[in-house]
Copies of this chain bind each other. A is one copy, B any other.
Amino acid sequence: MLMSFVMSPDERSRKIYRCALEVRGYELDSYGHVNHAQYLSYLEHARWKMLAEEGITLKTLAEWKRWPVVAGLEVRYLRPTFCGDELRIETQVTEHRRVAFVVEQKIFRANEPVLTARVEAVIVNEHGKPAEVPPGMAGSLWSPP
């Protein structure tokens, strides 16, 4: 299936970044629950937080002239969430290549899993072409400590 989460023990040992957020009322759709597209914004938020935790901001990316863009994603929705729900997001880089890396993310409400996602990010340069992951990013996101 889509979300395998089958990784070697070594992969599993990578750092897990955590952040929390509360569902805001304006994020509900006409069904009265958080719209499926909204979660992608939550996940993006958590990835920016991961980068920020390593000192990487939009400004850093502009200096490097290297930006991560989403090239693919797989999401599995497990439970609806509602206004005021407190969500926790776990974010982990689980694969990396020369110009791309994979982030696996999970959203929880208390101990209940809400969603799992696998996001493939590609690094692009100022012309939008694939480019090597900048050392400052690789060094902080997946090198051994």
Give chain A's interface residues, CB within 8 Å of chain B.
2, 21, 24-26, 28-32, 35-38, 40-41, 44-45, 48, 52, 57-58, 67, 69-77, 80, 83-84, 128
Contacts and interface: CB of A to CB of B under 8 A. Distances in A.
A72 B83 contact: no
A50 to B, nearest CB: 11
8 contacts: A25-B48, A26-B35, A30-B83, A32-B58, A35-B41, A58-B83, A72-B75, A73-B73
B84 A52 contact: yes
Contact of A40 (B2, B36, B67): B36
B72 A44 contact: no
Nearest to A117: B73
